[in-house]
Chains A and B, each alone.
Chain A
Amino acid sequence: MRFQRIVQTLVFALFIFLLWRAAYPLVENLPVDIFLRFDPLISLGVMGAVRRFIPALAWALVLVALTFFLGRLFCGYICPMGATIDFTDRVIRKKKQPGKTNSFEAAGRWRTVKYLFLTGVLGTTLLGVSSLFLFSPLSLITRFYSLVIYPPLMMFSDAALSLFQPLFPRIGLDSLSLAYVETPRFDTNLFVAALAAGIFAMGLIKPRFWCRNLCPAGALYALCSKKPLFRRRVSEDCTACGRCLRACPMAAIGEDFVTTAHTECVVCLKCQEICPENAISFSARGRDRSPVPEFNAGRRAVLTAGAAGVGAAAIAMTSLNYLHAGEAPRALRASTLIRPPGALPEVEFQERCVRCGECMKACLTNTLQPVWFEAGLTGLWSPRVTPRLAACEQKCNVCGHVCPTGAIRPLPLQDKKYAKIGTAAIEKSLCLAWEQNKKCLICDEICPYNAISTQFAPDHTVTVPVIDEDKCNGCGYCEMRCPVTGKSAIRVSPQGELRLAYGSYEEKARELKLIFHAKDSVQDQFILDRNDAGQPSETTGQPPEKRETPPKLPPGFITGGE
């Protein structure tokens, strides 16, 4: 096998391994998000949008620097989108070669589109809007594997497991008789799949269609590889047979077979391998018939694309929902848009989040889901907590630790406990205890922060749940477990969320007198004591003596006989 294919396969395997390991519990010091940080478009785009240098995103700049010496190495060897497209091309093209019209000159002006995409993306960045999620290859492909490929794989694994499960006890595998594989589920997955399928299907026209013509990260690398030190060279032995030209997946070879568009070449070494005369080498020395054919996207086109980017960003910013991120953070906020704990303030959060789906893949409970337009046009596919499906687990903080751009801060567990993401509220007309006088109180039972107490209320023989907003962390266990069908009777909204760009959540929470107490340290405040002390009951607003038949026993106990 060709050197490039071996390296590409190994690197792709590493990408998949790291994505698989983006899960609870995280392996310490394993940079599961490193590939995303290799993408120069993410690096420059995010830094540009927030207008600040971000050290964690500087890796891509090292790769950009390498490009001056080694060409578009990234595209041929590192990029998992490239590897995936190479694979899908092989499947859908059935080894069909690009054909005779594959010279650089004949390949047409499509290839300039990627430069227009690049300037368009940078145009949106100019206004501080990030459109990377639609164009960055690493964002696209990570999201594709996380949200589209991973869940069915888990589902099939579980199906296979359950198929063979009856056999396990007979072959001494008792321990596996209750094993199962959890299948995560994601919103919008069909559309993530459709976008990726579109990109792959373009391979029917030409191989690596996306990489040749559309990828703005590729364009960025192309700009740095006009004449790399280590490049394709053709010796005098060339007989002009043209095999290299027909095989080149990037249409980087000129009609004379000797000229090379190094901006297009991804150093895949296919031409070197295929050359019957061994006339082609990739080295720092040797004959190189340049000048390289210049790319010419045209100044007018580039300026138009940049302007289009600015215009698109402006439209997004004047879309009604955008307001909730900036000037009217409360009024137009969707009540279901609960951000993960440690998410930056909304404006910077949206600028930084590249919608790679890494946090959703890693989420222990599957509560993190991609959104549609709840967060405005600019918030597409950004993560939200979905409490009705699953709660945010108190003892997990992986989302912040797998986020490549720091849109979710990597909080230590202790501080994460104070990163309040919302507040629960009870809709009494739906609540079994409040409305139907039923002994439910599952929300009280499950609340990990003891924010729900059971209290006596008039006209009720059972105690009813009451929320202490200052203790509620917004984790959503109550909403998840509420036994009402459909809409929960207790729901978390972003009310009271803490979004800190820097500094300690713990300190902020203390300052606001929020009590996310550690277990064992604080005693449950039983309402009976409060009323015995003569204070008015919170639920009735009446002094205790006026309350109607208040049972004088703690919840669950009866007067009893004997």
Chain B
Amino acid sequence: MARKPIGRREFLQKSTKYTAFAAAGAAAPMFLRGNASADAPPDIVVAQGAPGAATKAAVEALGGMGKFVKKGQKVVIKPNMSWADPPESATSTNPEVVRELVSMCLDAGASSVMVLDNALRKVELCLEMSGIQQVCELFPRTSAEIVTKQRFYQDTPIPKGQDLKSTMVMKKVLDADVLIAAPIAKSHGATGVTLGMKGMMGLIFDREVMHYKMDLDTAIVDLCTLLRPQLTVIDAIRILTDGGPGGPGKIITLNKVIASADVVAADAMATELGTWYEKKFKASQVKHIAQAHERGLGNMKVAEQVVKEVTV
């Protein structure tokens, strides 16, 4: 990709726009390599476009929602909606992404779709301001809930846990047949980035213990051995490149949605696509992604995988 060099000043002035291009440019070789492996089903899809359309395209390129959700199954979608901010703040998952996921799940025959998170800010405000509740109200058999009460959680052992050996998980998640991670891509003051795996902390009751008693990254991987989403769809429409997870911080518009059946691969892809603190990082530089890879939860090596790029 040849590009006329641009001045630093101009770069700063239009940084948002150009960083998006730069990110696409940096990732381009990988797409080429991915596409080169003929018609093999993709491991990771990166769809570019409007939030809803890109979500639909990404899941369809993976083989469609029918591959993940069977008729009569109960689905839980885990977006980020624990901050009382509008979608423009890039702290909560874009409601259009959630809308499309819900719609596809219902089309695939899901008996119910629950959009769940455990909020850090006041519940009413999170549901209202994220726009996710309004979206879910449009669909039958669908609800968006922020679950903060202990009685809706159940203590669950984590057999493969190293630090986190048991935790209280939302009963609705334990009851569900399919778990879909739908995080927004954000930086995180303690874990570098917060994506699909880190997002699973929103489905348990006591996440503080992971901070003060354990190695946080190890505990995140422990949790993912228990809560392993069958499908991960990462909202990279707007990414919060610093000041995360709560913001405010610098927001870059990528207009991308990343999807994979492998949460580690999806997280790795999002890490490398994005720009964090004005810098580029490899997935292996995020400790919990690297550890998940080592422990066999998934494949963080994007270059080794079939990556399909679609534009809508």
Contacts and interface: CB of A to CB of B under 8 A. Distances in A.
Given A450-B247, A484-B212, A178 B284 contact: no
A560 B242 contact: no
Contact of B285 (A450, A555, A560): A560
B120 A178 contact: no
Smallest CB-CB A-B distances: 5 pairs: A556-B192, A560-B285, A483-B208, A524-B243, A519-B248
Given A520-B88, A526-B242, A442 B121 contact: no
14 contacts: A178-B145, A180-B149, A364-B122, A364-B125, A444-B189, A445-B188, A450-B243, A454-B189, A524-B248, A526-B277, A556-B193, A558-B286, A561-B284, A562-B284
Nearest to A24: B124
Contact of B189 (A364, A553, A556, A558): A556
A432 B211 contact: yes
B287 A445 contact: no
A438 B122 contact: no
Given A523-B243, A556-B189, A557-B285, A439 B211 contact: yes
Interface in A1-49: 24
A9 B246 CA distance: 48
B172 interface: yes
- How many chain A residues sit at the interface, stated as a range, is 35 or more
Interface string B102-141: 0000000000100000001110110001000000000001
Nearest to A447: B246
B152 A555 contact: no
Give the most central of A24, A177, A178: most B CB within 10 Å.
Answer: A178
Contacts, number: 142
A393 B129 CA distance: 13
A228 B217 CA distance: 78
A553 B189 CA distance: 12
Nearest to A553: B285
A440 B122 CA distance: 21
A395 interface: yes
Interface in B272-302: 276-277, 279, 281-282, 284-287, 290, 301
A394 interface: yes
A440 B212 contact: yes
A446 B82 CA distance: 10
Given A178-B145, A447-B246, 20 more contacts: A178-B143, A180-B151, A394-B84, A439-B216, A440-B190, A440-B211, A445-B190, A448-B121, A448-B246, A484-B212, A519-B248, A520-B88, A523-B242, A526-B242, A554-B192, A554-B277, A556-B188, A556-B189, A557-B276, A560-B281
Interface string B186-219: 0111111100000000000000110110011100
Interface string A507-525: 0000000000111111110
Contacts of A447: 246
A555 B192 contact: yes
Interface in A158-179: 162, 174-175, 177-178
A557 B189 contact: no
Contacts of B84: 393-395
B209 A483 contact: yes
A463 interface: yes
B66 interface: no
Contact of A519 (B85, B120, B215): B85
Contacts of A524: 242-243, 248-250
Interface in A490-533: 517-524, 526, 528
Contact of B192 (A445, A448, A557): A557
Nearest to B248: A519
A454 B151 CA distance: 35
A446 B207 CA distance: 13
A178 B248 contact: no
Give the most central of A520, A528, A557: most B CB within 10 Å.
Answer: A557
B145 A519 contact: no
Given A174-B143, A528-B277, A554-B192, A393 B286 contact: no
A162 to B, nearest CB: 6
A515 B209 CA distance: 32
B267 to A, nearest CB: 13
A556 B217 CA distance: 9
Interface in A424-478: 432, 438-442, 444-448, 450, 454, 463, 477
B182 interface: no
A329 B112 CA distance: 58
Interface in A228-282: none
Contacts of B120: 445-446, 481
Contacts of B151: 162, 180
B290 A561 contact: yes
Contacts of B242: 523-524, 526, 554
A103 interface: no
A555 B284 contact: no
Nearest to A463: B189
Contacts of B286: 556-558, 560
B89 interface: yes
A356 to B, nearest CB: 24
A365 interface: yes
A557 B274 CA distance: 14
